Amino acid sequence: MSSSASGAVPPTSGRGRPVVVSPAPVGSPVLVAMAGVPGAGKSAIAEALGTRLAAVVVSVDPIESAILAAGVDAGQPTGLAAYLVAERMAESVLRVGASVMVDAVNGVDPARRQWLDLAARAAVPVLFVEVVCSDEAVHRRRIEARRRDLPGMRELDWGDVLASRNGYEEWAGESAAAPRLTVDSIRPVDDLVADVLGRLTA
């Protein structure tokens, strides 16, 4: 599922920046789980949604980077560990009544069911937002230009995107039955955020 050692390490967003918890969540708490291959545009949408909903963005990749920076060997299942840490962080946020945007590939069924289980425990609605990019040339330029500056994690290339596509599972079972909105990131981020907000308030 790859993509803190101490309380001194703050939660971070999909761009590696510290997450700021707004004191005034909008409406009832909701769990939004992003999905899609690297470079599709998940982080940009998650951050914009977080701003609009006064929600916390919990991103798996910076968590994994922190695990690696703590000295955990890269041969260990650090990606899985990052998903589990993200789940605990998201649960803590939901418990205090704030919404959460989970920024992760969520390309396999166990990862998707993880968020379904969390939503059930926290008694909040869940929405999967699957992000695709219909223009392969644009997608490739994005991934080649992207610089995440995450210690311990190399920058991904187009080959990684193709590998992620190959391993990206069809939606099945409970995950397929869960609310899901697929958006194309070739469109402006503001339009996509409006689509997601419309779905959440429908």
Residue 128 near residue 181, CB atoms below 8 Å:
yes
pLDDT at 143: 95
Count of domains for the chain:
1
Strand order across the beta sheet in which 100-103 lies: 56-59, 100-103, 31-35, 126-132, 180-184
Cα 80 from Cα 150, distance rounded (Å)? 17
Residue 197's CATH number: 3.40.50.300
In a domain, residue 25? The reply is: no
- Residue 163 backbone dihedrals phi, psi, to 5 degrees: -65, -40
Contacting residues for 18 by C-beta, under 8 A, at least 6 apart? 10, 11, 12
75 burial level (CB within 10 Å; 0-12, 13-18, 19+): exposed
pLDDT at 124: 97
In a domain, residue 20? The reply is: no
Residue 168 near residue 38, CB atoms below 8 Å:
no
pLDDT at 202: 82
Per-residue pLDDT 10s for the chain (202 aa) are: 444 333 333 333 344 433 333 333 346 999 999 999 999 999 999 999 999 999 999 999 999 999 999 999 988 999 999 999 999 999 999 999 999 999 999 999 999 999 999 999 999 999 999 999 999 999 999 999 999 889 898 999 999 999 999 999 999 999 999 999 999 999 999 999 999 999 998 8
In a domain, residue 10? The reply is: no
In a domain, residue 171? The reply is: yes
- The single residue listed with the structure tokens 């689509």 is 195
In a domain, residue 19? The reply is: no
SS (H, E, C) 36-72: CCCCCCHHHHHHHHHHHHCCEEEEHHHHHHHHHHCCC
pLDDT at 68: 94
In a domain, residue 162? The reply is: yes
**103 lies in which domain range?**
34-201
pLDDT at 184: 98
Amino acid (1-letter code) at residue 174: E
In a domain, residue 5? The reply is: no
Q: Which two tokens stand for residue 51?
A: 């701003």
What DSSP state is assigned to residue 8? T
In a domain, residue 132? The reply is: yes
